[in-house]
Amino acid sequence: MDSLMRVCVPATAGRFGARLARELLKRGIDADLNGDRCRMIVSLCHGLVATVNDTDIRWCSPQVRSGGRRLCRIRRTVDGAAAALAADYRLLNGDDGPARARGSARAAPS
């Protein structure tokens, strides 16, 4: 493997990302994990992706601020991030969306 292709995810970001994915699975949301340069990317569905680094978890919420811009969220605990991400996931997919059906977080083809 070429040394330029290595992914350097810090141990704490990797652990936080894995814990976040487990917490989301407890809430019925299947998330994909990917390592990026010095962080973890947790993808819940189209339009909802969280970035996990050593100190916090960040994502853009589907909620819109008064100026028409999306609300950016930052959480410093895995439990707080999982609860807020689950709420945002339900906003995007509805209460009877894929989260109830313990399947993949990706939207079904129409």
Grade residue 107 by pLDDT with cuts at 50, 70 and 90: very low
Its domain, for residue 23, covers: 3-92
pLDDT digits (tens, 9 = 90+) for 87-97: 999 998 887 55
- What are the tens digits of pLDDT across the range 5-52? 455 666 788 889 999 999 999 999 999 999 877 888 999 998 899 999
Domain membership flag for residue 17 = yes
Q: How many domains does the chain have?
A: 1
How far is 91 from 97, CA to CA, in rounded Å? 10
**Residue 15 falls inside a structural domain:** yes
Residue carrying structure tokens 């680094």: 53
Residue 32 inside a domain? The answer is yes
Global pTM value: 0.74
Considering the domain boundaries, does residue 44 fall inside one? yes
Q: What is the residue whose two structure tokens read 């811009």?
A: 69
